Structure 1
Amino acid sequence: MPVDQSLVECSCGQVAVELEGEPIYCTVCHCDDCQFAADELAKLLPREPIMDPFLGTQYVLHRNDRYAVVRGQGLLHPYTFRENSPTRRMVATCCNSPLFVTFENSQHWISLYRQRFVDEAPALQSRIATRFLKDPNALPTDPPAYRSFPLKLIVRLVVSRLQMIIGR
């Protein structure tokens, strides 16, 4: 696999997602939707915790035009835990491994569960949506934490969308 590609796999290896190019951003999300979904997935998938000890879920954001399910497409099952939620958490049914989150509201990225990367996952850049925590001051200071979304994340999302539009 070339250097600019990454692989994400389920625990048993029957489902694999190949990523091309650099990720958009790597973060830990503390929003209420991610916390709720992680709790619900934990009921279904008790062997594999999704949240870290600080109630955050680690994600690698990647352009949705630069990923492909290269193995086990038929084994993926979407979970939506709240009515009208735009998120679908994709889980490999062969071993109940959560792999990534897609968005029905036309977001141009997917959020891959960072722990599913076969090789070294990208370094965390921030903790976001910490306003949903009871005590955000109890978080570690590395990476930096933000009550909402840092400007760097927003800029990277805008730039990646523009690159998609112009075909880069």
Structure 2
Amino acid sequence: MTTVTCSCGAAALDLDGPPILAAECHCTSCRAAAERFAAPVTEPNSGTRFVLQRKDKAKVVKGEAHLASFRLSDDASTQRIVATCCNAPMWLEFKGGHWISVYAARWPQGEAPRPELRTMTKDASGTLSDDLPNAKTQSAGFMGRLFWAWVQMGFRNPPVADVRRTLND
């Protein structure tokens, strides 16, 4: 069991079992959202590190009342769950998705799983090193691991938390 927290420790999330994947995203939306949250969220290359976890293996164990949803636009297919106590992004959730992408910044320094690849590098703001695979979009391997996790979940999509507040109001 791994427990990750917001910056001030008032909100916590338990993650059970290994992650689906650890990745660094370079999409325009992740970079735009990162500018609105408490630092540090991005890497020096402007990517945002995430650890993808099955929803049935994630549970808010502290501070659910501090959590709020943030969307970049009213029609955005993603919501970012933010701990309002310290403006720390906790996870990203795709509409209809069976996984959450937990911000690697939620782990203590140096303890988050190392990224296995970069994704959405077609949107990158600069040149990226070749120390990791640099996929222009989501790679077949990336999508295959998400699909296999969904199979293991019995094609379910359980909620992680009952987040009713929004930051867009």
1:142 maps to which of 119, 131, 134: 131
Distance 1:134 1:100 in 2: 23
Q: Which residue of 2 aligns with 1:115?
A: 105
Residue 112 of structure 1: how far off its partner (Å): 0.3
1:92 maps to which of 63, 83, 101: 83
Q: Secondary structure at the match of 1:165?
A: coil
* Alignment of structure 1 residues 9-24 onto 2, 5 Å: 9-24=5-20
Residue 15 of structure 1: how far off its partner (Å): 0.5
Which structure features the higher share of helix residues? 1
Residue 151 of structure 1: how far off its partner (Å): 2.2
Matched, 1:155 2:151: no
Residue 83 of structure 1: how far off its partner (Å): 2.5
* Alignment of structure 1 residues 1-168 onto 2, 5 Å: 5-39=1-35, 41-42=36-37, 45=38, 48-103=39-94, 105-118=95-108, 120-135=111-126, 138-165=127-154
Q: Secondary structure at the match of 2:154?
A: helix
Residue 23 of structure 1: how far off its partner (Å): 0.4
Q: Is the 8 A contact 1:6 1:117 kept in 2?
A: no
Shift >3 Å, 4+ stretches: none
Query: Unmatched 5+ residue regions in structure 1?
Result: none
Instruction: Return the TM-score normalized by structure 1.
Output: 0.85
Residue 85 of structure 1: how far off its partner (Å): 0.5
Instruction: Return the TM-score normalized by structure 2.
Output: 0.85
Q: Secondary structure at the match of 2:56?
A: coil
Q: Is the 8 A contact 1:60 1:112 kept in 2?
A: yes
Q: CA RMSD in A?
A: 1.7
TM-superposition CA deviations, 1:87-130 (whole Å, max 9, x none): 11111111221111122x21010000012124821121001001
Residue 36 of structure 1: how far off its partner (Å): 1.6
Distance 1:86 1:149 in 2: 16
TM-superposition CA deviations, 1:46-104 (whole Å, max 9, x none): xx13222222110000001111100000001111112210211111111221111122x
Query: Unmatched 5+ residue regions in structure 2?
Result: 157-169
Instruction: Give the fraction of aligned pairs with identical amino acids, expressed as a percent.
Output: 36
Distance 1:166 1:38 in 2: 31
Distance 1:69 1:115 in 2: 17
Q: Secondary structure at the match of 1:127?
A: strand
